[in-house]
Amino acid sequence: MKMSKRLDKIPPYLFVKIEEKKDELVKKGVDVIDFGIGDPDLPTPAHIVQKMRAVLDSKEAVNYPTSKGEFAFRKAVSKWYQKRFQVELNPRDEICCLIGSKEGLAHLPLAFIDPGDTALITDPSYPVYKICTTLAGGEPYLLPLTAENNYIPDLDKIPADVARKAKMLFINYPNNPTGAVAGKDFFEKAVNFAKKNDLLLVSDLAYSEMGYDGYRPSSVLEIPGAKEVTIEFHSLSKTYNMTGWRIGMAVGNKEAVQALATIKSNIDSGAFKAIQLAAIEALSGPQSCVDENRKVFEERRNVLIEGLNSLGWKLEKPKATFYMWIPVPKGETSATFTEKLLDKCGILVVPGNGYGSAGEGYVRMAITIPKERIAEAIKRMKEGGIKGQ
């Protein structure tokens, strides 16, 4: 049989390879400390699980959902956005339920990218933006994120001819993998750039509820006029420890949201109703669980950053996300340092170049393990002679 040529254009998904490597080591008896995939280890809050159980015992959730989501779910999203960001969203046509935000981000290029079109994508970035632009026949144009620019893309350096033919601009703040944050000044600039160049601004806001030291991330949609050019993706995965539940939302520009809904109506049958009803409980119920999560991850962040600094790094504590973007020691590459940590210490991290060529020279560490395991990792690094810059 002959596979499609598009498969030749995409590498194996980064995290699949990481999981395979981890499984190999575990089978050999290695006690692996896993800083790899950003999958919260904390349980889904009890009141959300209880709602799910109640729904499963009823007849509410056995038939097909709507592909764009139950109206009650969309209404709950609208109320949550209003309370959290003071952003008005019409639940009828400015919100679409997703089977996790990854699914929506992956399908969006099918609605906006024709073969040969350009999408502006930060480098490094969540791999889905680039891969799914390619699958849709588009050409990614990469915008380097550097420490010197605080991992914010310099939109002024995009050539005019590239900007004119671009159809989409992907941004993600708080950022995966760097943990960087962006202020409203950048969001305003991105909105104006999208208006000037008649393109869709795509905001991935999956980590908005993971801000530390009192920092509260903003939504691009808070910028006046942003809804004219912006579609924003959000998820319950990180906020409520619901990664495996697969539930999220796309909100913002009506035409963009409905275009995505059209693609979805021809590909999937929507998120399981029971999960949508449990998600309503998450969004509408007590939010103390979110504050508790934040405190746990903030403490873990402190343990890791302070521990690495004791080994010679000079790292500042990131303001958001559960990702730490760590420069590799001199003389190392992302790949060699990843291998050294694994072979000498049994510590699994993600090489930065897996997120794009601009990620070379870094590794990403996700603090989705208990603080005791983080402390153990620092101990192993010290005993293994691992030192920072």
- Domains of the chain and any CATH numbers: 5-44+288-383 (3.90.1150.10), 46-284 (3.40.640.10)
The whole-angstrom distance between residue 203's C-alpha and the CA centroid of its chain comes to: 10
Q: Cβ(170)–Cβ(148) under 8 Å?
A: no
Is 90 exceeded by the pLDDT of residue 92?
yes
Is 90 exceeded by the pLDDT of residue 229?
yes
Is 80 exceeded by the pLDDT of residue 21?
no
What is d(CA 46, CA 288) in angstroms, rounded to the nearest whole number? 12
Is 90 exceeded by the pLDDT of residue 17?
no
pLDDT of residue 2: 82
Is 90 exceeded by the pLDDT of residue 23?
no
| pLDDT tens track for 141-153 | 999 999 999 999 9
- β-pairing, 200-204 vs 230-235, is parallel
Q: What is the pTM of this model?
A: 0.95
pLDDT of residue 318: 97
pLDDT of residue 223: 98
pLDDT of residue 308: 98
Is 70 exceeded by the pLDDT of residue 15?
no
pLDDT of residue 14: 63
Span 142-167, average pLDDT: 96
- Taking the C-alpha atoms of 104, 251, 129 and 126 in order, what is their torsion angle to the nearest 10 degrees? -100
Q: In 210-272, which ranges are continuous DSSP H helix?
A: 254-265
What is d(CA 375, CA 136) in angstroms, rounded to the nearest whole number? 44
pLDDT of residue 63: 86
| pLDDT tens track for 256-300 | 999 999 999 999 999 999 999 999 999 999 999 999 999 999 999
Predicted confidence band of residue 13 (pLDDT cuts 50, 70, 90) = low
Say which range, 16-25, 97-106, 139-148, has the weakest mean pLDDT: 16-25
Over the chain, what is the mean pLDDT?
94
38, 206, 220, 262, 304 from 243: Cα distances, Å: 9, 11, 23, 25, 23
pLDDT of residue 181: 98
- Taking the C-alpha atoms of 144, 148, 151 and 157 in order, what is their torsion angle to the nearest 10 degrees? -40
Is 90 exceeded by the pLDDT of residue 315?
yes
Residue 4, token pair as written in the block: 């499609």
| pLDDT tens track for 319-370 | 999 999 999 999 999 989 998 998 899 999 999 999 999 999 999 999 999 9
| pLDDT tens track for 27-55 | 888 899 999 888 899 999 999 999 999 99
pLDDT of residue 25: 81
Is 90 exceeded by the pLDDT of residue 66?
no
Predicted confidence band of residue 123 (pLDDT cuts 50, 70, 90) = very high
